[in-house]
Chain A
């Protein structure tokens, strides 16, 4: 195998990894606010991408507007889910909420199947298909585009969490809910904005990845890779989510080159178990010290 192929594989791994990273980030955003693992995250991504696609087909919208429609739809959906279901279970245990989000994911997937069938649909891409040649290395514009767009979104998220009131309120709630409430932060509003923000990040990931994997009701399964990525990086840590996503994407793309095809699907999971054995709280996670 030449170095050029290796570069090509690593770049497409980073592209897959960017999507995983966005998925992991959206899981972490909700987890930090509500300490809930949102099973329905993948299905919310799938439904908002479908909404964007339907609008695009109905009105012949340009792709940028389609993305906007998907993101707005995701925001509305996140808000509705939080207000209608999650808010009512605010006093329930995490286990109960876990089952609620599981129920949501089943409903959303079945609902999408009824509305749009379970077929696969092609999705238009922002990026051309002609490979870009950099000397001997040939790179797919899709890969570069996905990486670029994801990095831009991550930078925007970083800015949001560092410099805006909403972002700082979210970080405060993640650190200590009671103290945040005492400082005058409306924890309920942070819950709602976390669900909206996570759904919107997911929608961007959905529009980016749909041209590659096709649009279908099964797209939501990507949540498993997002969860894996978040755990590798250390659940709750945002830089960890990005690192874990990139690592997972590259490993997934490199593994088939070196290992027999029979075990290729196990490789990410074996790597995950190995990482957890050495660092039980993920690469960048901290072990929570609990006081009694």
Chain B
């Protein structure tokens, strides 16, 4: 890492740490939502950016993680929050693998369609499992517990989210330098070339599915605590589309790209809320302008500027 890069990371971490002291309460909440979306974007990017499997079903994975963590917190209040988050992530990863393995045969648009279908099926499954999820009435999520401590303030929830997000971002950055990460990079550049060089493409694609679902599931658990209320219609196809927008606008196959994309899209959605009916109009125009003037996403545009 260059000195400038190290400085940037340090500044970012410091900003994360002091944010609740300087920002108004609402912006602490907004920052938590951004961090949740950052984790999802990284998870989705592992799948779509690196192994070329575009998913329009990640709202479904987010829902599985959110409901698993929420129901565990309700039914087993003794469990510390980190355990429930990891269990939520693992449950989502299990579903991801069960769904991903048969989908290995599918390419391109067929996989996209299958994941879209997956999202719809999950929403309806939540409605049907109303014994656990309270169906359409929605589920109120109790405060996360860390030992005797209840994380019931916005700042506490923010710190929990920020800590988990930092660990997961660091893990993703380091993943790229491992054997697995190099395999992902090879698949990103060319699947056929990777296969020819002896990379077991199917195994790594499956792994990417599991990892992606794990990231999204953990993010779902955090989402449950941050928002405090779950209902199936919050996890519709438009949310999945938003996640895809984040990684393409930010930059496919790049961790900083996921962070930038998730931040920009979340802030835009929030900032444009005041424009009511004009919001989608402005958001749509921005998307078009962004892709016309910054093809390949913002990270690529930034690196082009820096090289000049």
Contacts and interface: CB of A to CB of B under 8 A. Distances in A.
A276 B118 CA distance: 13
A99 B116 contact: no
Contact of B245 (A99, A272, A287): A99
Interface string A81-104: 000010011011101111110111
A105 B120 CA distance: 20
Contact of A96 (B117, B279, B291): B291
A153 interface: no
Interface stretch (B99-107, B179-187, B215-223): B99-107
B248 interface: yes
Contacts of A48: none
A110 B279 contact: yes
Nearest to A106: B284
Contact of A92 (B128, B192, B295): B295
Most buried by B among A88, A91, A102, A265: A102
A207 B107 CA distance: 34
B102 A231 contact: no
Interface range on chain B (Cβ under 8 Å from partner):
35 or more
A99 B291 contact: yes
A228 interface: yes
A222 B139 CA distance: 30
Given A96-B296, A99-B291, A290-B192, A107 B285 contact: yes
A262 B248 contact: no
A88 B116 CA distance: 29
Given A103-B285, A266-B124, A228 B295 contact: no
B212 to A, nearest CB: 17
A105 B291 CA distance: 15
Given A102-B245, A272-B117, A262 B127 contact: yes
A280 B121 contact: no
A37 interface: yes
B110 interface: yes
A206 to B, nearest CB: 20
B107 to A, nearest CB: 7
B120 A231 contact: no
A276 B110 contact: yes
B280 A110 contact: yes
A103 B287 contact: yes
A266 B121 contact: yes
B286 interface: yes
Interface in B239-281: 241, 244-245, 248-249, 252, 277-281
B125 to A, nearest CB: 8
Contacts of B11: none
Contacts of B292: 85, 88-89, 100
Contact of B287 (A100, A111, A114, A262): A100
B117 A106 contact: no
Given A85-B292, A104-B284, A235 B124 contact: no
Interface string A101-121: 011111101110110000000
Contact of A273 (B117, B190, B279, B295): B117
A142 B61 CA distance: 40
Nearest to A228: B113
B288 A280 contact: no
Given A92-B295, A93-B295, A102 B109 contact: no
9 contacts: A100-B287, A103-B291, A110-B278, A227-B113, A263-B128, A266-B120, A266-B121, A270-B117, A280-B105
Interface of B: 54, 102-103, 105-107, 109-110, 113-114, 116-118, 120-121, 124-125, 127-128, 190, 192-193, 196, 237, 241, 244-245, 248-249, 252, 277-281, 283-288, 290-292, 295-296
Interface of A: 37, 85, 88-89, 91-93, 95-100, 102-107, 109-111, 113-114, 224, 227-228, 231, 235, 262-263, 265-266, 269-270, 272-273, 276-277, 280-282, 287-288, 290, 292
